[in-house]
C-alpha cells in the first residue's frame, strides 16, 4: 500500500522541505482556482505542524484587513499578454 493509499488522500513525503519554484507556481495556480470556486464568503483553515500551526483566512471581505497595498499577487509580474486586442473590436 502506498503512502497515498494509506492516508486516504494526497500526501507528499517531502512535507519538511520548501516548495521548489515550480511547486510554488503550481500551488498559486491551485490557490486561484480554490479562491474562484470554493470560497463563497470565507474559509478558515489551520495548516502546518500542529505544534506551530499557521492560521489562514480566505475571505471576500472588502476592504481587506489592513491596507490593500500590503497584499501582493504572486507571479503577477510573470503574466504574459497574449493579445492586446479587445474582445469587442473583433480581435
* 52-87 confidence digits (pLDDT tens): 999 998 888 776 778 888 888 888 876 554 444 444
Confidence band of 16 (pLDDT split at 50, 70, 90): confident
d(CA 60, CA 84) in angstroms, rounded, equals: 29
User: What global pTM score does this model have?
Assistant: 0.59
**Alpha-carbon span 57 to 44, nearest angstrom:** 5
Q: How many CA atoms lie within 13 A of 51 on its CB side?
A: 0
Q: State what percent of residues in the chain have pLDDT above 90.
A: 38
CA pseudo-torsion sign 85, 37, 49, 14: negative
Amino acid at each position: 500500500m502506498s503512502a497515498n493509499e494509506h492516508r486516504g488522500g494526497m500526501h507528499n513525503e517531502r512535507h519538511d522541505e520548501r516548495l521548489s519554484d515550480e511547486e510554488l507556481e503550481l500551488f498559486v495556480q491551485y490557490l486561484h482556482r480554490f479562491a474562484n470556486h470554493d470560497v463563497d464568503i470565507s474559509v478558515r483553515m489551520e495548516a502546518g505542524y500542529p505544534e506551530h500551526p499557521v492560521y489562514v483566512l480566505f475571505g471576500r471581505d472588502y476592504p481587506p484587513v489592513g491596507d490593500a497595498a500590503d497584499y501582493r499577487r504572486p507571479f503577477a509580474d510573470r503574466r504574459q499578454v497574449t493579445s492586446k486586442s479587445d474582445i469587442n473590436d473583433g480581435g
